[in-house]
Amino acid sequence: MQICHNSRMKLHLSDSGRAAFGAVCLFGVAAYAVFGFQHGFEEQVGWYITLLPGAIVAAGISDIVTKIAPSAEFVTFWGLLVCFNLVWYFGISFVAIKAYRFVAKASTGS
């Protein structure tokens, strides 16, 4: 039995799978940048709004849910924050992958 050391194992993922992986990575980096470093208050708010834009929508929906079920405020806000930001980063990753594929295909003339 012969083992070929030069062969590489390729990971076959769809574009949406790659975008989901990218979204999780980008979200992790954004969350670490916002919550992992010590910032001044104004600076942290700026980073929070810039890197986690889903917080604006999450806060609005969380306020509505809090009027109905006040005890669910914490879970609702953080759940929506994670979901909306993952969707945001998924969209960015998916568009970037599609743009890369389009440019790569156009440059090779295929």
Distance CA 45, CA 82 (A): 17
SS3 68: helix
- For residue 81, what are its two tokens? 């924050």
Distance CA 46, CA 51 (A): 9
Residues 16-71 pLDDT 10s? 999 999 999 999 999 999 888 887 888 888 888 899 999 999 999 999 998 998 88
- Taking 70 as the threshold, does the pLDDT of residue 1 lie above it? no
3: enclosing H helix or E strand? none
* Domain ranges (residues) in the chain: 16-108
Residues 72-102 pLDDT 10s? 888 999 999 999 999 999 999 999 999 999 9
Q: What phi-psi label fits residue 43: left (phi over 0), alpha (psi between -120 and 50 degrees) or beta? A: alpha
- One-letter amino acid at 97 equals I
